[in-house]
A and B are shown apart, each in its own frame.
Chain A
Amino acid sequence: MTIPQISVFLENKAGQLADITEILSENHVNMRAINIAETADYGVLRLIVDDASKASSILLEQGFILTMTPVVGVAVPDTPGGLSKVLRVISTAEIDVEYMYSVFGQKDGQACMIFRVADTDGLAAVLTKSEIAMISGEDLGLH
């Protein structure tokens, strides 16, 4: 139950992010989550959008460099300690989290976190065992 994530190479210069969001908006692609990791010179923009294949082909056409990665959506109780409980479960299972970030808004008192791990199946198994709900692409309104 993974969610497709688009990662785009961003040079640190004015207007790069505006360009990408404009291109997506012109093509009626809706963003569900966004995250940027950066150094002084460049960054990686990570996106969850409603139509990943459409968004990626448009961005490729425009000359951007991108890669698609499967990530896992995890429902986190929107209360103090909600995230730490989830993280403890994952770390106890010795699954390394490469990075994580949150999805816009929440659903039924649950925040949604996106996790990128090498062992996606392992993470799914651990979450299921600990009765932590995963969030599907459908839940996020992905086509």
Chain B
Amino acid sequence: MERYYQKEIETADREQILAWQNERLVKQVRHVWDNVPYYRKKMEEKGVAPEDIQSVEDLHKLPFLTKDDLREAYPYGLLATPLKDCVRIQSTSGTTGRRVVAFYTQHDIDLWEDCCARAITAAGGTNGDVCHVCYGYGLFTGGPGLNGGSHKVGCLTLPMSSGNTDRQLQFMVDLEATILCCTPSYAAFLAESIHERGLRDQIKLKAGIFGAEAWSEEMRQDIQNKLGIKAYDIYGLTETSGPGVAFECSEQTGMHINEDHFIAEIIDPDTGEVLPEGSKGELVFTSITKEAFPLLRYRTRDICVLTRKKCSCGRTHVKMSKPMGRSDDMLIVKGVNVFPSQIETVLLEQGYQANYQIIVDRVNNSDTIEVRVEMTPENFSDNLGKITEMEKGLVSALKAMLGIYAKVRLVAPKSITRSEGKAVRVIDNRKI
């Protein structure tokens, strides 16, 4: 039997959901207008006043927010409540220049954790479960979000954070974890380790909630088979709260967006025009219940499809497909956001030219990133040791910028493919 964390909300009829959305949107627009001069200015520039927004139908009149806005307004420019009312910040992975900081009141945290609790319950979680959370804890939203959701459901929560496989497996076995929360690639890695150590008979896992990076249906099957569990997808982004914006149910055919908190739109990424249901386009979120960091029409840059087809789980909230790509050049590698421009900055700083190519692949369920850069006369030497030293310097500068290891491959000048005079910057070989 399907279980719900907040049944009356999760299975509410369409009219009820719309009524909530209409009421909350109008209130939220007023809240933002009154408290966020940055967005108010954007509205004024577009000639929109709070009175123009009477219902969800009017949503399209509002200006978009993008990651650039968040950077420009860093750190307090989009804050809508006094700092004394805020209790937490979370931040996106990435570097100083690209960092996004989101603020939460206690109420915001509560609602976020409710969303995560819905996801855990949809995956079969109850207060009899042991929830093993090995998303990173800290600024990253993964650990704190699922941790809070697990508390709300009443699971015994194992706040493992990431890394230290030996300890992960020991706790998983000794404390009989039943629900695993982490990135899909880490789940695949753990599955592999469990298989290698012959621990399969000793684990009690029944479900996994995996998000923060793209994963394929094949990967789901692989993890499910190796661990003997059902693997559920979860979606979210720091800008809108964190994981739990949308989550999968037993049908495993898409993620229900928590529409009582977020209004989802699909737009044409080039024109910004709202597309009808079922169209493939860029996902845009409006948070209608957030107090501290309420983003209106935030462009996620994730490309996906929405569907309101009746779901066998009984939930009525709209479903989004797995993201099928991005409308910008951001890459997600090992759960970390990587922009080619960050790599370009490092190369130029290190005396290389902006002639490079980024090759992303997935080897043994783990992402790899290689930066191919053309050798320059200035960096060349007859002494191989000097070249390898420069290469090492480049590797550590990239690590400092991106937060993850990227292999560097020095290639011959003019060897990087150029199509129609323009270099092909990114080759993503991952089959997702």
Contact = CB atoms under 8 A, between A and B. Distances in A.
Interface string B109-136: 0000000000000000000000000000
Given A63-B413, A63-B414, A65-B413, A42 B381 contact: no
Interface in A59-87: 63-67, 69
A9 B412 contact: yes
A43 interface: yes
B382 A5 contact: yes
Nearest to B381: A67
Interface string B284-310: 000000000000000000000000000
A38 B384 CA distance: 7
Interface stretch (B36-44, B149-157, B240-248, B372-380): B372-380
B411 A11 contact: yes
Which secondary structure dominates chain B's binding surface?
loop
B158 interface: no
B410 interface: yes
Contacts of A63: 412-414
Given A9-B375, A42-B375, A44-B387, A67 B413 contact: no
Interface in B373-432: 375-377, 380-384, 387-388, 409-415
Contacts of B413: 9, 63-65
A21 to B, nearest CB: 16
A65 B383 CA distance: 14
Contacts of B414: 63
B383 A11 contact: no
B382 A116 contact: yes
A41 B412 CA distance: 11
Interface string B363-374: 000000000000
B320 to A, nearest CB: 41
A116 B411 CA distance: 25
B377 A65 contact: yes
A9 B415 CA distance: 12
Contact of A65 (B384, B388, B412): B412
Contacts of A65: 375-377, 380, 412-413
A11 B376 contact: no
A61 B411 CA distance: 18
Nearest to A6: B382
B406 to A, nearest CB: 14
Contacts of A39: 384, 388
Contacts of B387: 42, 44
Interface in A29-45: 37-39, 41-44
Given A9-B412, A11-B411, A37 B375 contact: no
Nearest to B377: A65
Contacts of B388: 39
A16 interface: yes
A52 to B, nearest CB: 13
A33 to B, nearest CB: 13
B410 A98 contact: no
B375 A99 contact: no
A69 B384 CA distance: 13
Contacts of B410: 9, 11, 41-42
A98 B383 contact: yes
Given A9-B412, A11-B412, A69-B382, 20 more contacts: A5-B382, A7-B382, A9-B380, A10-B412, A11-B415, A16-B412, A38-B384, A39-B384, A41-B409, A42-B375, A42-B387, A42-B409, A46-B382, A63-B412, A63-B413, A63-B414, A65-B413, A67-B380, A98-B383, A116-B383
3 A-B pairs with least C-beta separation: A7-B382, A37-B384, A11-B412
16 contacts: A9-B380, A10-B412, A11-B411, A11-B412, A11-B415, A38-B384, A41-B409, A41-B410, A44-B382, A44-B384, A64-B413, A65-B377, A65-B380, A65-B413, A67-B377, A99-B383
